[in-house]
Structure 1
Amino acid sequence: MSHSTAARYRTRSIMLHATLTGLGETQAANAPPASCHPKIRDVYAYWLKIHPPHGLPGRQHFEPTDVPGLLRHLRLLEVEGDPPRFKVRVIGTQYSERLGRDATGRYLDELFEGFSGSRFHRALMEIIEIKRPVWRRGPLQWFCREQFTHVERIHLPLARDGSTVDMVLTVCVFQN
């Protein structure tokens, strides 16, 4: 990806994860802000704890039972193929309740019409490219049963080989 394309993706971070109804706050950086939700802070601290000295942590480092208080807020997507497709490996009950179904084992492009051209898809592609956590807080309209909700979430890249992002770990806290 060229420098200008990468810069354009970074400036589009404000559109991450959803069709936004307001701008909210977005941060593509090495840490979420101090004002973030405690669950976001907890998963980020855990991600740092499992982070090897060189490269990204991988799925082999992540043990869901190490973060039991976060399980209902957690989603783990596997990145497959070229172009990438995103398969739901783990989905917390908070997500399932919002979606109105269990999406485990399904591809996002099969679950959601128009996913491949969506802002959510672009956000996941950005995570693959920048290989850094991306945090966001703000209102959104997403593939949820409730149309409008407030969300705070962090996407954390995972890479089995330490470099190529092959999973995206997300913790999301929905608030109405």
Structure 2
Amino acid sequence: MTEAFPPVPPQAGPSGTGPTRTGPDPAIITNQHVLNFYNLWLSRCPPGGFPTKAEMDPLLMGRYLSTLLLLKVHRDPLDFEYRIIGEEVIALLGNMTGKRVGGSAMINLAGSAYANYSWVVEQRLPQFLEGPATTAFRKERVYVMSRVHCPLAEDGQTVDHIISCVAFL
């Protein structure tokens, strides 16, 4: 996998003022915190695969912990469960720990969290987003955010967790 996901060099300051951009290209992201997390995830990817949940050691991620989300992938039917949510994310968006995305999803202007997480599972790629977003809990409040969803796989191939890093601009 690491051949398909090159490291991202430092970028200029955040834009966050235009339309929401989403997709597999890390160039979407202008936030250095999110790019640094993506590069950490890349460093944990084994050749031709994804890191396991255990390989994303909290000791390595200390400076990211307050901005992370960890989701467990459920199948038949496909759904996602919020397992860990960082303090900064909870402070702005609410605590969804233990809830399924199908019933409590964050919604952004480019599509729902469910659709974004499903894309990561189906495409087996990280997904980046930057721009205006809102949540199911606070629909009246628009946030400008930068984030990456990164796949994790116990067997290195089948996405069973998604780890995300979110920064509010």
Give the aligned residue type for 1:39.
Answer: H
Residue 13 (structure 2) aligns with: none
What CA distance in whole angstroms lies between the structure 1 residues aligned with 2:106 and 2:113? 12
- What RMSD, in angstroms, separates the aligned Cα atoms of the two structures? 2.3
Of 105, 109, 132, the match for 2:102: 109
Of 26, 37, 42, the match for 1:43: 37
Aligned to 2:125, the other structure's residue is in SS state coil
Structure 2 stretches lacking a partner, 5+ long: 1-17
Q: How big is the shift at 1:97?
A: 1.1
Q: How big is the shift at 1:139?
A: 0.9
Counterparts in 2 of 1:96 and 1:113: CA distance versus 1, 3 Å: closer
Q: What are the within-5 Å matches in structure 2 for residues 6-155 of structure 1?
A: 23-29=19-25, 32-33=26-27, 36-100=30-94, 102-112=95-105, 119-145=112-138, 147-155=141-149
Residue 16 (structure 1) aligns with: none
Q: How big is the shift at 1:112?
A: 4.9
Q: Tell me which stretches of 4 or more aligned residues in structure 1 moved more than 3 Å.
A: 110-114
Residue 173 (structure 1) aligns with: 167
Give the aligned residue type for 1:83.
Answer: P
What CA distance in whole angstroms lies between the structure 2 residues aligned with 1:123 and 1:137? 13
Task: Spell out, residue by residue over 1:117-158, the C-alpha distance to the aligned partner (whole angstroms, 9 max, x if none).
Answer: x72211111110111111111112223536111011001011
Q: How big is the shift at 1:34?
A: 8.3
Aligned to 1:40, the other structure's residue is in SS state helix
Give the aligned residue type for 2:19.
Answer: L
Give the aligned residue type for 1:160.
Answer: E
**TM-score scaled by length of structure 1:** 0.75
* Percent pairwise identity: 29
Count of matched residue pairs: 148
Structure 1 stretches lacking a partner, 5+ long: 1-21
Whether the aligned pair in 1 keeps the contact of 2:29 and 2:146 (CA below 8 Å) is: no
Q: How big is the shift at 1:57?
A: 1.2
What CA distance in whole angstroms lies between the structure 2 residues aligned with 1:113 and 1:67? 23
What CA distance in whole angstroms lies between the structure 2 residues aligned with 1:157 and 1:96? 22
Counterparts in 2 of 1:131 and 1:153: CA distance versus 1, 3 Å: same
